[in-house]
Amino acid sequence: MIKTYFVDGDKGGVGKSFAARAIADMLMQSTRFNLPKPINRLLVVDADESNQDVCGAGGFPKLETINTCEVIGKFYPISSPEQWVKVGDEVFDIVQQWNDTDECRVVFSLPAGAGLAIAKAAEVTAVMTALNAVHVWVMGTDAGSVEQLQARISAFPSFYRQGFVIRNLRHGVKEDFTHWERSVTRDAVLDWGWQEIDLPVLTPSVAVNLARTPLHIAERDKASTTGKKLGMGSLVSLKTFRGVAGDRLAELERYVPKAEDLDAGDPA
């Protein structure tokens, strides 16, 4: 079975890339977090040409086996419907080599604005369906983040039946997301079956030292791919974050939408 997580947000700085990296890290540790089924194949796609923080230099390697999960990192820029269709073809070339019996996941880290651009393209429909799209919206604390999520839902409602909102607590505590908490968009999507996940904070100095280094590589090598050595305190912080974040993000896999959620009408 294949499932694809599209990690999106309204603008740069909300933590889309970091959330995508954390989701991929969780999927690679499927046995640790007791996911319903072990993940055998994982494709991590960095689609942000201006900010290659997922699969750029020092990011996810082109091919690696973690535990029993084969991990592939690819950079495919997406800023238009035409590029999206091309990327879809290349992703399918990879996916078709996987066994049908394997549990396969794809994590897309989208650039700001790309989600709405591709959502409006009719030719994207078949690609999104085949990849079993699940939308992950990294919520900001301002009103614009809520408005942009609503714009995507309004433009492409049939593919927002399954979704998650991630509140990146690096931007503050839950109460700081006032615009989201009080919005009619939140009420609508939660009634429709969406879920919320709070992403914990990785110590800022540790996050800076890691740069785009995948979390598992930093913990394993006790250093970032830039050569920066991590001290004992940094390693403890990193290990703790991987455990807490992974357990929370595992809800992406554990959640099974109810039939009435899937049959509900489009969010207003």
What residue ranges do the domains of the chain occupy?
A: 2-200+249-254
- 7-16, 62-71, 84-93, 125-134: least confidently modelled range: 125-134
**Confidence bin at 103 (pLDDT 50/70/90):** very high
Residue given tokens 């897309």 in the structure block: 108
The reported pLDDT for the residue numbered 70 is 95
Tell me the residue type at 135.
H
252 contacts 106 by C-beta, under 8 angstroms? no
For residue 266, pLDDT beyond 60: no
- 33-42, 83-92, 180-189: least confidently modelled range: 83-92
Neighbours of 216 (CB within 10 A): 20
Task: Please name the residue ranges forming H helices in 111-231.
Answer: 114-119, 124-130, 143-155, 178-181, 184-191, 204-210, 215-221
The reported pLDDT for the residue numbered 249 is 97
Q: Enter the pTM of the model.
A: 0.92
The reply to whether CATH 3.40.50 applies to domain 2-200+249-254 is yes
